[in-house]
């Protein structure tokens, strides 16, 4: 059985979503251990970057939203009776989501750990720990969030283009019908 191109795109979204759910589940298991739970609670806002922010983003955006996008790329052509408007945009959507979600998750996790350890090692408060990494902290968040946001907007654009697109009318079958003497409906 051959797959349509949009089905292959959807399968890649599902693989990414399942991978994200695996990573989120693994993180959830690890952060529930007593030692890591204590670290997260004792670092306050830095620990908040790790749990719930990083944990929620990898599970909800990476896992759930990616699988929902896969379902839309699978069902939309079947419901409308036409292909996705742009497979190129579909793959741009996929790669932007992979880069944005992965980047955002890694930025949250990395700076949560760095800032939390700085707080505990130096006995300082969160604003001072964050100020140490401030330029990189802000650049990492903005860049990865921009990629993730672009991925979402490309998806929305592709869905609307698919829905509102008019399929070209096939005139050759009507001309052939007229030549054979049948009426055009």
What one-character-per-residue DSSP string does the chain give?
A: -PPPHHHHHHHHHHHHHHHHHHHHHHHHHHHTSHHHHHHHHHTTHHHHIIIIIIHHIIIIIIIIIHHHHHHHHHHHHHHHTS--S-HHHHHHHHHHHHHHHHHHHHHHHHHHHHHHHHHHHHT--HHHHHHHHHHHHHHHHHHHHHHHHHHHHHHHHHHHHHHHPPPPP--HHHHHHHHTTPPP-
Residues 6+ apart with CB under 8 A from 63: 17, 18, 20, 21, 24
* Overall pTM > 0.95: no
pLDDT at 1: 47
Do 43 and 8 form a contact (C-beta atoms < 8 A)?
A: no
pLDDT at 185: 53
Residue range 67-72: mean pLDDT, rounded: 95
Cβ atoms 184, 178 nearer than 8 A:
yes
CATH topology of domain 5-179: Cytochrome C Oxidase; Chain A (1.20.210)
pLDDT digits (tens, 9 = 90+) for 118-167: 888 888 888 888 888 888 888 999 999 999 999 999 999 999 999 988 76
Q: Is 23 a residue whose pLDDT tops 90?
A: yes
Q: Which residues of 82-108 are buried (b: 16+ CB within 10 A; e: fewer)?
A: eebbbbebbebbbebbbbbbbbbbebb
Most confident of 18-27, 115-124, 163-172: 18-27
When the pLDDT of each residue in the chain is averaged and rounded to a whole number, the result is 87
Q: For residue 53, what pLDDT is reported?
A: 87
């Amino acid at each position: 059985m051959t797959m349509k191109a949009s089905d292959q795109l959807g399968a890649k979204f599902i693989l990414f979503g399942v991978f994200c759910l695996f990573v989120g589940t693994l993180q959830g298991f690890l952060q529930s251990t007593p030692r890591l739970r204590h670290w997260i609670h004792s670092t306050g806002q830095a620990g908040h970057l790790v749990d719930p922010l990083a944990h929620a983003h990898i599970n909800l955006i990476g896992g759930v939203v990616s699988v929902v996008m896969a379902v839309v790329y699978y069902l939309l052509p079947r419901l409308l009776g036409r292909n996705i408007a742009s497979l190129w945009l579909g793959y741009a959507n996929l790669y932007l989501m992979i880069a944005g979600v992965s980047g955002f998750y890694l930025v949250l996790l990395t700076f949560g750990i760095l800032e939390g350890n700085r707080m505990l090692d130096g006995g300082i408060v969160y604003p001072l720990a964050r100020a140490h990494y401030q330029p990189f902290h802000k650049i990492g968040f903005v860049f990865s969030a921009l990629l993730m946001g672009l991925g979402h907007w490309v998806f929305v654009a592709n869905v609307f283009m698919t829905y509102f697109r008019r399929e070209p009318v096939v005139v050759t079958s009507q001309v052939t019908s007229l030549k054979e003497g049948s009426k055009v409906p």
